[in-house]
Amino acid sequence: MRTRPLKVALLGCGVVGSEVARIMTTHADDLAARIGAPVELAGVAVRRPSKVREGIDPALITTDATALVQRGDIDVVVEVIGGIEPARTLITTAFEHGAGVVSANKALLAEDGAALHAAAEKYGRDLYYEAAVAGAIPLVRPLRESLAGDKVNRVLGIVNGTTNFILDKMDTSGAGYSEALDEATALGYAEADPTADVEGFDAAAKAAILAGIAFHTRVKIGDVHREGITEVTAADIASARRMGCTVKLLAICERAADGASVTARVHPVMIPLSHPLASVREAYNAVFVEAEAAGQLMFYGPGAGGSPTASAVLGDLVAVCRNKLGEATGPGESAYTRLPVSPMGEVVTRYHISLDVADKPGVLAQVATVFAEQGVSIDTVRQQGKDGEASLVVVTHRAPDAALSGTVEALRKLDTVRGVASIMRVEGE
């Protein structure tokens, strides 16, 4: 074993960063045995140096992250500060000065992953980011390495624990959205500003990363169709149950049947209770991968939190350190297919549409006519009426999303339709 330690710079020392530092210290001997050399925490860049950080030598703390990554003796930079800047500049500077990088920064990778990969290749460095998607669940490396000889056709799953917790509570306890969000916040699953989670931005960034790796093409967060869960109601949950379904926020990445394009989307869906994703509870994540040779694979586990995410970071750290010792680099970007990302309107899916209508003869016929004129076939209809008002629930067969959207717009123009109570896609059959 080499006795001279590999030096690690840590950018950020919050929930994840502090856990990375703790594991590096408490598991130092095991890490050294696995890597073939000891690893040494050489510096920790933070914004608030006065904060007490248990187990970390105060002499390692600095507010000058740029100087830390420019030192020249740093072997690996671990970036867990998040955001676009200064993270992007710090990572490229680390490459330039000889360090490989381990990052948990999903937002940056989804926005500018191609440029980061190009910089890593230019300087011959590693860029690993298992922790950017689904916390502790090994997902990026299986897609990037284990399935490198296979053809992945679909990736779908629950990749945001906060939204899964909220929807699960709405389903199991009958709580409304606001009540479930309050509980998630109290338990620490939701941030004070939960927008990134509940509006689907977090899941969309992860979907972009997964689609890019799975389909060997470049997918940015702007290519991902995104809808959050803020409009999901207790009535939607109840309606799903009557269908034998539950509601989940899914990231869905698919290769077109002809192989000429891909799609990436994040939105609430109704899925059958028989589907394995339906049983994923509370803040857990689960992802299905469908490949031609391997078939269906499912990855399940905690998708966030200090310890789970730190586990993924440390796994990447070991890999990058091993590569450093062997004077090699791991897999870089694979974007050779250059497939276009189709717009949401071309995606073929099913709809569950709940309408408030007048309770009088002929309404169902009018509604059915609209669906027929738009070329959308109806699977099932359920109608309930009382005191001149009625609810009409229509579940469609699969059709292009644009046709379904056009149907909804046409329905809104009917005098007998008082309003569209809810619209949700149906997946998993």
CA torsion through residues 249, 255, 260, 262, sign: positive
The Cα–Cα gap between 429 and 427 comes to: 6
Whether the bond between 86 and the residue before it is cis, its omega within 30 degrees of 0, is yes
Looking up tokens 């330039």, which residue turns up? 96
The Cα–Cα gap between 282 and 163 comes to: 9
Pick from 219, 301, 292: which is nearest to 252 by CA?
A: 219
CA distances from 127 to 238, 332, 414 (A): 45, 7, 55
Residue 358 phi, psi dihedral angles, 5° rounding: -70, 140
Pick from 225, 233, 173, 170: which is nearest to 203 by CA?
A: 225
User: Is 206 a residue of the active site?
Assistant: yes
Question: E-strand spans in 206-244?
Answer: 225-226
Instruction: Let me know if 1 is exposed, middle or buried by CB neighbors in 10 A (0-12, 13-18, 19+).
Output: exposed
The Cα–Cα gap between 421 and 330 comes to: 51
DSSP string for 134-185: STTS--HHIIIIITTTS-EEEEEEE--HHHHHHHHHHHHH---HHHHHHHHH
Q: What share of the chain is helix, strand, coil (3-state, %, to 5)?
A: 40, 25, 35
Catalytic one of 106, 169, 206, 324: 206
CA torsion through residues 270, 367, 355, 423, sign: positive
- Does an H or E element contain 253, and which? strand 245-255
The gap from C-alpha 239 to its chain's centroid, in whole angstroms, comes to: 26
DSSP string for 369-413: HHHHHTT--EEEEEEEEETTEEEEEEEE--EEHHHHHHHHHHHHT
The Cα–Cα gap between 201 and 410 comes to: 30
- Does an H or E element contain 351, and which? strand 348-358
Give catalytic residue positions: 206
